[in-house]
Amino acid sequence: MKINVLLSPVFADELYYSGKVTAVIDVLRATTTICTALANGAKEVIPVASVESAVKVSGGMFGGLTLLGGERNTKKIEGFALGNSPLEYTQEVVQGKSIVLYTTNGSKAIVKAKFSSKLFILSFNNLNAVAEKLLSLDKDIEILCSGRNNGFSLEDTICAGKLITEIMKVKEDAELSDGAKISYNINKTLGKNLHKVLMESDHGKILSANGFDEDLNYCSKLNTYDIVPLYSSNVIKISH
Ligand code: MLT
């Protein structure tokens, strides 16, 4: 098994993902929000790469059963029902609903990797479940970090490193690319106190300044959910 980590979405174009098994990460906060929404009973999450697509896609769906969610500069977008805080995606709010989600980095990264043969959604909250799924497939793996504004983000890289660490407990001989080795080693050095990592990260500081301290706590929790969200035919659902 070969494992590669793309430390930012700029490292590859859409066609790169064709036929590959990919896990996308945006710990703060898109992939954590997607896991939460699905764990709380949302029917599906539809990630989109622009606000215009969000409005267009939701316009063609049944009003009461669809919710528009997402953020610009961490804040809810005008006219949207929900922002991008996972804490908003409670069972009462999302049960049975289709959620169209636009976020600055995360939803775009997912859409970019859409040609993958299997595309999984990863956060700290569902790390072991995704690791188990990837081990059962036993294929080479691409891990895509959504990062920040086409740059690197510490929290996504540490999450990639933790996934690799989990996989290597079983596949000791997995072959790591340079990006995978960096992630593995950064997790070893910095990945013990995840809450601290998130609070001290570039995006974590911005979220904290905007009043989202509770989100940092929530997004830092390991294995809250035993679910594997899978993107297929433009929608994300729990894979069974
Ligand atoms: C993103 O996709 O850039 C993030 O999820 C932003 C956020 O924290 O809301």
**C-alpha closest to that of 91 among 29, 42, 43:** 42
d(C-alpha 194, C-alpha 150), whole Å: 23
| pLDDT for 20 beyond 70 | yes
Tell me the CA–centroid distance for residue 77 and ligand 1, in Å.
12
Q: What is the pLDDT of residues 54-65, one digit of tens each?
A: 988 887 776 679
Q: What is the pLDDT of residues 81-100, one digit of tens each?
A: 999 999 999 999 999 999 99
Instruction: Read off the pLDDT of each residue in 166-180 and give the average, rounded to a whole number.
Output: 98
Q: Is 104 in the pocket of ligand 1 (CB under 6 A)?
A: yes
Q: What is the DSSP letter of 49?
A: S
The answer for residues whose C-beta is within 8 angstroms of residue 63's C-beta and 6 or more apart is: none
pLDDT number for residue 19: 97
d(C-alpha 8, C-alpha 215), whole Å: 22
Q: Is 191 in the pocket of ligand 1 (CB under 6 A)?
A: no
Q: Is 30 in the pocket of ligand 1 (CB under 6 A)?
A: yes
pTM (predicted TM-score): 0.97
Among 45, 104, 220, the mutation site with the greatest number of ligand 1 atoms within 8 A of its Cβ is 104
Q: Where are the alpha helices (DSSP H) in the chain?
A: 30-39, 51-59, 91-94, 106-112, 127-137, 154-168, 178-190, 194-200, 202-209, 213-219
